[in-house]
Copies of this chain bind each other. A is one copy, B any other.
Amino acid sequence: MRAANMGLLLRHLRGHGGRSRAQLASETGLSKATTSSLIADLAARGLVREGELVRGGSVGRPGQTVTLDGANVTGIGLELSVDYAALTAVSLAGTVVRESVVPLDVAHLALDVVFDRAAAYLTRAVDSLREAGAHVVGITVAPPGIIDYDTGTLRFAPNLGWRGVPLVAELSERLGPEAPPIRLENDAKLAAVAEFDRVAPQGIRDLLYLSGEVGIGAGIVADGRLVRGYSGFSGEVGHLPLDPTLTPCNCGRRGCWETIVGLTAFLRLAADPGDSLHDPKRALEDRLLTLADRARAGDERTLVALATVTERLALGLGILVDVLNPKMIVLGGYYAFFGEFILPPVQAALAERRLDEGSAIVLATSELGLISTARGGALLALEDVFTDPTVVAGAD
């Protein structure tokens, strides 16, 4: 109960900003004695601090403002993509304290090598954060495929051919017993969490994120909450049956949406097999920047490829809008390199089929780019602190 009420105070401070102990007691309904005791406990854990004097009302002693702290409490997110790994550490105070992307040819390395490299990447981050005095509360890893949440296993990675990879166990073993707890979460859901965190201050409560990589997935935030589905499988939109030409998909079916709007489909439309745009040794970002340059120069082949992808993208997004009625749609992955070509026609197509004649959907490309999933992973790891602040140990 004490931990739950500490969480209540912490969430109240996050949602409403700094305020006095008397205000916190009155607004949460906790007694003043309880509130003071809990605030002292939270302060000892470095989760809140008390600052300048404020006068709570017109009479009585002025109180100190309690504000969210947590500068030394961090969460880590790690994305393992098909050809890169990204790591972000965010403090409870909201500061990104570490962020990097490294090439990692996951598709062509032995599993053990992938585990070793990912573990080394995480260990360096944890060690360095701890040396700087931080408490690392948890690690969220986003693997490039379907998760078995109960066992911490990557069940199936359609674009790698992996099946039944016990990722949490392998990483935990390599990180050792002193490591923070590790959990898995889907890349698009984490990106949605990161994008929502960015726009929530603008009053947006309903957001749809669409990843645009070899596979396509959606992350759904409804009324400020991540929609996970009953077993964590919401947003599996890459396999919607939206390709009338029934292109074979890595999932074993035909005609899946990602076979016509995914990265592989786009590159195939945009360049012939011999083109260096298909060379996996060349950094993906570099290849996409080349294509964006070609599009801006009016290259017909590139523009037709973009128009083809955009038309099918709008079709699927129209379905998602009918189902979910989001206020904002954020396009991530490779779409973010082509916003000027993709956004106007998609916006027009959505406006055309909208039943709600009210205000328009805010359509944007991701500003977080490749780092969005790792950022969301760090934010998700921090959520545990808001549920149970006692996961952060108090001062000695």
Contact = CB atoms under 8 A, between A and B. Distances in A.
Interface of A: 1, 4-5, 8, 26-31, 34, 146, 148, 155-156, 204-206, 218, 220, 222-223, 225, 227-237, 239-241, 244, 251, 253, 315, 318-320, 322-327, 353, 355-359
A286 to B, nearest CB: 32
A227 B222 contact: yes
B356 A233 contact: yes
Contacts of A156: 355
Given A30-B30, A240-B319, A241-B315, A227 B229 contact: no
Contacts of A27: 1
A305 to B, nearest CB: 23
A231 B356 contact: yes
B229 A222 contact: yes
A336 B205 CA distance: 35
Given A29-B34, A146-B356, A230-B326, 15 more contacts: A1-B27, A204-B230, A223-B227, A227-B227, A229-B324, A229-B325, A229-B326, A231-B356, A233-B355, A234-B323, A236-B323, A236-B355, A239-B322, A240-B323, A241-B318
Nearest to A358: B231
Contacts of A325: 228-236
B4 A240 contact: no
A237 B253 CA distance: 24
B26 A1 contact: yes
Nearest to A26: B1
Contacts of A4: 29
